């Protein structure tokens, strides 16, 4: 939704922009593993690090809590959420409910120009490192689904991809898995180019299920490797 510009002197625009910048910075630190599971988020230290006041930091933490990346407790304060196999399964099960429907709607709506953009995004995944994989992977999926013009579903899906990103980055360093993901993404684009809704939906379901299996394996390894507390 496009919002009208704020009138001159309206400090709300500045504050909102600052919150968005802080939110992006903290989210990236969490997804990249710089802020590891269990790490405390101390507002004063983060504000000093980012060169802002505590107000946008507090609001950014609240939004990260809503995204499921941060937990806030009365006595412990805010900290990065841990890695949970249950959360992974739920995240991918929700993707399985939303994405095939959204992809089918996008193909019905047409928009061949988006498929050129999808191929460009696919090429970008070849060169993305683990820290950037989530962003380019989301760009590819987003491009495939945008013709459906389902903004609410896309917003929910973006959050699900962000939640899954912190797990997917552990698998993208594996070259065979990257090659497999590339082949599966190419198949999605080819089905869309043909207008083959059933083939596209079936391929997408298989793609998400394979990713779920791979990520669950990674989380199991990380859990076993984690030191006992």
Name all domains of the chain by residue range, CATH numbers in brackets. Answer: 18-80 (1.10.10.10), 85-225 (1.20.120.530)
Q: Are 73 and 145 in contact (CB under 8 A)?
A: no
pLDDT of res. 15: 42
pLDDT in tens, 69-125: 889 988 889 999 877 788 889 999 999 999 999 999 999 998 667 899 999 999 998
Dist. CA 54–CA 48, nearest whole Å = 9
Tokens 């006041």 map to which residue?
53
Average pLDDT, rounded, for the chain: 84
pTM of the model: 0.69
Dist. CA 161–CA 31, nearest whole Å = 11
HSE-up of residue 71 (Cα within 13 Å, Cβ side): 11
* Ordered DSSP codes for 156-185: HHHHHHHHHHHHHHHHTTSHHHHHHHHHHH
State the Cα angle at 138 between 135 and 141, rounded to 5°. Answer: 155
Q: Are 37 and 83 in contact (CB under 8 A)?
A: yes
Which pLDDT band holds residue 35 (cuts at 50, 70, 90)? confident
Picking from 53, 83, 89, 56, the residue whose alpha carbon sits closest to that of residue 71 is 83
Partnered with residue 80 across adjacent β-strands are 70
State the Cα angle at 218 between 217 and 222, rounded to 5°. Answer: 120
């Amino acid at each position: 939704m496009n919002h009208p510009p704020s009138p001159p002197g309206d400090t709300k625009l500045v504050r909102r922009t600052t919150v968005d910048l802080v939110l992006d910075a903290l989210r990236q630190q969490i997804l990249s593993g710089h802020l590891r599971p269990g790490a405390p988020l101390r507002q004063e230290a983060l504000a000093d690090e980012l060169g802002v006041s505590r107000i946008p930091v507090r609001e950014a933490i609240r939004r990260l809590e809503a995204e499921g990346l941060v937990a806030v407790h009365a006595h412990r304060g805010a900290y990065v959420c841990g890695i949970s196999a249950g959360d992974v399964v739920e995240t991918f099960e929700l993707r399985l409910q939303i994405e095939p429907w959204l992809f089918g709607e996008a193909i019905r709506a047409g928009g061949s120009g988006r498929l050129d953009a999808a191929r460009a995004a696919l090429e970008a995944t070849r060169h993305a490192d683990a820290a950037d994989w989530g962003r380019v992977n989301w760009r590819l999926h987003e491009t495939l689904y945008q013709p459906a013009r389902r903004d609410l579903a896309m917003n929910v899906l973006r959050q699900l991809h962000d939640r899954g990103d912190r797990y997917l980055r552990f698998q993208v360093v594996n070259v065979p898995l990257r090659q497999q993901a590339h082949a599966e993404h190419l198949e999605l684009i080819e089905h869309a180019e043909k207008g083959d809704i059933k083939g596209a939906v079936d391929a997408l379901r298989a793609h998400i299920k394979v990713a779920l299996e791979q990520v669950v394996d990674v989380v199991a390894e990380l859990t076993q490797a984690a030191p006992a507390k």
